[in-house]
């Protein structure tokens, strides 16, 4: 075998082994798992994740996912917990301890503290009947055939399975709690994700560019309004209410027909059913709408149907918004 073939073979075998182990986890999604979700859903305090080594890293990720999907959570390193950090664990909290073997002196010390303070411990481990299993009120057995490590030593398959179970817990809690995209946006106000969930058309309206003409406006007036505002369109309004729209495409079609433009007004060729959206519409929703209808801009109104301006598809794309 060539070096490339060997490399590909090892990588594919790793993915195959780990994907099979994750698939096998479907057997633990049972009544016990449902009971754990119910307890976590009603948790009056925080969901504490803890572990040592690679399990600690997985615990940090699960805790972060819980926080961003509607469940209060913090991570406490198991070793640090036994040297003063137990103070962050309150009586209303629930502790989830992750461990590959389920065996360590720290687990036993943690269990003693939690038992004395009547705090629920949920264990996640690859080994059934381990100390963690026996000391936990509830337990998830993440059985694996072997680690992807060719020495069967480095936590690979086991840590991947623990991460997957953590995601299953977080996503189930998100759904049963009724956590919405609006709730999600509260925890993600920045970056492209935050924009996707919070940016509205009102944020994109340029108050200095508000193309509009009246139904009686001349052909030349319409051309001037479209050209000067650079949206490729202008609204046709009456008492600040939209009556239609004229686009640069409409202008081209009139010119191609070689009509006498001196006697043409906006009412003669405007589109009387323009695409209109309210200012509170999310920009990503407007983007989807424009792509589906193959248009480049939408007219914006407030809730009283008063014309506010135009948003072009490029205004949304420039903000880093996409619908993928």
Q: Which domains does the chain have, with CATH numbers?
A: 3-179 (3.40.50.10490), 201-317 (3.10.580.10)
Q: How far apart are the first and last CA of the chain?
A: 40
Per-residue pLDDT, 309: 95
pLDDT digits (tens, 9 = 90+) for 103-119: 988 999 999 999 999 99
Given a cut of 80, whether residue 154 has pLDDT beyond it is yes
Q: How far apart are CA 293 and CA 165, in angstroms?
A: 41
Is 251 in contact with 277 (CB distance < 8 Å)? no
Per-residue pLDDT, 193: 66
**For residues 293-315, average pLDDT:** 94
**For residues 255-271, average pLDDT:** 87
Task: Specify whether the backbone of 239 is left (phi greater than 0), alpha (psi in -120 to 50) or beta.
Answer: left
pLDDT digits (tens, 9 = 90+) for 68-98: 899 999 999 999 888 888 889 999 999 999 9
Q: How far apart are CA 64 and CA 62, in angstroms?
A: 5
Q: How far apart are CA 96 and CA 173, in angstroms?
A: 15
Can you read off the two tokens belonging to residue 254?
Answer: 């009139």
Number of H helices, E strands in the chain: 14, 11
**For residues 126-136, average pLDDT:** 95
pLDDT digits (tens, 9 = 90+) for 277-293: 999 999 988 999 999 99
Can you read off the two tokens belonging to residue 108?
Answer: 């036993």
**For residues 228-239, average pLDDT:** 94
Low-confidence winner among 138-147, 149-158, 173-182 (lowest mean pLDDT): 173-182
Per-residue pLDDT, 262: 83
**For residues 18-40, average pLDDT:** 97
Q: DSSP code of 136?
A: -
DSSP calls for 98-127: EESS---HHHHHHHHHHHHTT-EEEEEESS
Per-residue pLDDT, 84: 80
Per-residue pLDDT, 1: 83
pLDDT digits (tens, 9 = 90+) for 195-221: 777 889 999 999 889 999 999 999 999
Q: Return mean pLDDT, the chain.
A: 92
Low-confidence winner among 84-98, 117-131, 170-184, 217-231 (lowest mean pLDDT): 170-184
| Burial of 211 from C-beta contacts in 10 A (0-12 / 13-18 / 19+) | buried
Residue with tokens 């993915």: 15
Question: Which residues are within 8 A (CB) of 282 and not within 5 positions of it... i.e. 6 or more apart?
Answer: 196, 197, 198, 199, 200, 201
Q: How far apart are CA 9 and CA 129, in angstroms?
A: 35
pLDDT digits (tens, 9 = 90+) for 187-199: 666 666 667 778 8
Per-residue pLDDT, 308: 96
| Confidence label for 237 from pLDDT (cuts 50, 70 and 90) | very high
Per-residue pLDDT, 324: 60
Share of the chain above pLDDT 90, in %: 80
Per-residue pLDDT, 86: 85
Q: How far apart are CA 256 and CA 63, in angstroms?
A: 63
**For residues 111-135, average pLDDT:** 95
């Amino acid at each position: 075998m060539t070096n490339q073939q060997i490399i590909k073979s090892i990588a594919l075998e790793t993915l195959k082994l780990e994907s099979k182990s994750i698939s096998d986890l479907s057997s633990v999604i049972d009544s016990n798992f449902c009971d754990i979700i119910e307890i976590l859903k009603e948790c009056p305090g925080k969901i504490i994740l803890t572990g040592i080594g690679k399990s600690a890293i997985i615990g940090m990720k699960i805790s972060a996912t819980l926080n961003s999907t509607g469940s209060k959570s913090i991570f406490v390193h198991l070793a640090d917990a036994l040297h003063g950090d137990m103070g962050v664990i309150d009586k209303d909290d629930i502790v989830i301890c992750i461990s590959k073997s389920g065996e360590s002196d720290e687990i036993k010390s943690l269990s003693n503290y939690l038992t004395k303070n009547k705090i629920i411990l949920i264990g996640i481990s690859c080994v059934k009947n381990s100390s963690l299993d026996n000391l936990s009120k509830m337990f998830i057995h993440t059985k694996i055939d072997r680690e992807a490590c060719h020495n069967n030593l480095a936590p690979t398959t086991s840590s991947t399975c623990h991460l997957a179970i953590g995601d299953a817990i977080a996503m189930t809690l998100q759904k049963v709690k009724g956590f919405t995209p609006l709730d999600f946006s509260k925890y993600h106000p920045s970056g492209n994700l935050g924009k996707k969930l919070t940016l509205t058309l009102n944020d994109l309206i340029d108050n200095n560019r508000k193309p509009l003409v009246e139904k009686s406006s001349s052909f030349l007036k319409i051309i001037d309004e479209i050209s000067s505002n650079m949206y490729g369109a202008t609204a046709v309004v009456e008492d600040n209410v939209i009556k239609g729209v004229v686009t640069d495409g409409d202008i081209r079609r009139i010119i191609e027909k070689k009509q006498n433009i001196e006697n043409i007004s906006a009412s003669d060729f405007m589109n009387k059913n323009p695409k209109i959206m309210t200012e509170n519409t999310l920009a990503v929703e407007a983007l989807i709408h424009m792509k589906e209808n193959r248009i480049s801009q939408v007219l914006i109104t407030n809730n009283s149907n008063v014309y506010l301006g135009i948003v072009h598809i490029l205004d949304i794309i420039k903000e880093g918004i996409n619908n993928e």
